[in-house]
Amino acid sequence: MLQRVNQFVAFVFLLVSFFTLGRLAFCDELSLDSFEGEIGDKTVDFGAGSGSSVQVTSAKDMKQCGEQSLKLTYDLQPSSYMFCARGYGLDVAGAHWEADEPQKIEWSQYQGISVAMNGKDLGPVAFDVKDSGGEMWRFMIDNNTQEGWVTIEIPFSKLTARDDWQPANADGNLKLDFPIKSFQFEPKQPGQGTVYFDCVHLIPNEPSGQ
C-alpha cells in the first residue's frame, strides 16, 4: 500500500514538473497594450509640431483585441512631426501601457514586438521604442498592400537607433538597453490620415532545442 502511495506521489510530482518546465520553456505572447478603457489626453502622450494636428480617441467599431482600438486622426504638414506614445517615463503620467511596469517584465524571454495596424497607403509610419538609457529606436512600417488589420512583427534586432533626433538625456550608447520604457507611433507622410492600432504584444523566443 505504501509503495502505491509513493508511486502516486511521484507521478503527481512528475506531472507538476512537466507543467512548470513547459511553462518556462514555452512562454506565451505577452499583451503589452490593447488600448482598453479611457483613451484621451490623460491616458495617451501625444502631440504634433507647428501647423500639424493629431486627435487620439478609442474606436469600438474597429478593434482587434478587446473592445476597442487606438484611433489617430491627423493632419501632418511637410517637415513637421506628430507622435502618440504609451508606457512609462512620459510627460503624461497616466499614459501607462496595460502590462506590468517595465522592470517587472522578463524581457529576455521575448524576441520582439508585434503590432496590429489598420490603415493602407498612409506612407511610412514609424514605430519607436525608448530604451532604459533614454535612447529612441525605430522600425518603419509601410503598408501599401493590405486593407483591414495587418499584424506587423518587429524583431528587437530590426530596431535601429534614431539618427534624426534623440532626447537630450539619451545615453547614446547605441545599444538597445532593457527594459524598454515606452513605445510610440509616428505617421511620417504629410497630409490628412486616419490609422488604427491595437494588440501591442511581445513575441516570445523560439522554444529551445527545436
* 198 binding Ca ion? (CB under 5 A): yes
Residue nearer to Ca ion on the CB measure, 31 or 53: 31
What part of residues 140-169 is at the interface with Ca ion (CB under 5 A)?
none
Q: DSSP string spanning the chain? A: -HHHHHHHHHHHHHHHHHHHHHHHHSPPPEEEE---S--STTT-EEEE-TT-EEEEEEESSS-SSTT-EEEEEEEE-TT--EEEEEESS-SSTT---SS--GGGS-GGGEEEEEEEEE-SS---EEEEEE-TTS-EEEEEE---S--SEEEEEEEGGG-EE-SS---TT-----S-PSSP-EEEEEE-SSEEEEEEEEEEEEEEPPPTT-
Of 8-16, 32-40, 52-60, 127-135, the window that binds Ca ion (rule: CB under 5 A) is: 32-40
* 99 binding Ca ion? (CB under 5 A): no
Binding test (CB under 5 A) with Ca ion, winner from 30, 32, 33, 34: 34
Residue nearer to Ca ion on the CB measure, 74 or 197: 197
Site string for Ca ion, 54-83 (x = CB under 5 A): -----------xx-----------------
Closest approach, Cβ 61 to Ca ion, in A, equals: 12
**Contact positions vs Ca ion (CB under 5 A):** 34-35, 65-66, 198
